[in-house]
Amino acid sequence: MRPQDRRQRAQRNQAIALQIIMMMAGLGIGTYFLLQALDGEPERRDFYIFATFVCYGVAAFYVWLQVRRWRREKRIKQILAEKAKRKQGGSG
């Protein structure tokens, strides 16, 4: 394994970890605001509902990023496998 591969893998794992943390934070804080909207002060209910949607939106955005990354990696693996298959078939 080349040093560049290790560095790229570390950066990828760090990005995935950050995305997971942001998803969990969005869900956790959004749930807190949802509970405040249901049980909290009536005059601040609008703010809590708005904050709930924003937090859940942040979590949904990071889920979307993760799915996009997964699909891109899957497509790249498929393309590389097809290239290897063509290369192997052409030399035989």
Structural domain boundaries enclosing 11: 3-91
Q: Residue 24's Cα: distance from chain center in Å?
A: 10
How far apart are the two ends of the chain, measured CA to CA in Å? Answer: 28
Band (pLDDT 50/70/90 cuts) for residue 89 is confident
Flag whether pLDDT at 91 surpasses 70.
no
Tens-place pLDDT, residues 27-68: 999 999 999 999 989 999 999 999 999 999 999 999 999 999
Considering the chain, what is the average pLDDT of its residues? 91
Whether residue 23 contacts residue 62, with contact meaning beta carbons closer than 8 Å, is answered with yes
User: Which residue would you say has higher pLDDT here, 5 or 29?
Assistant: 29
In 71-89, which positions are buried (b, 16+ CB within 10 angstroms) versus exposed (e)?
A: eeeeeeeeeeeeeeeeeee
Provide the domain count of the chain: 1
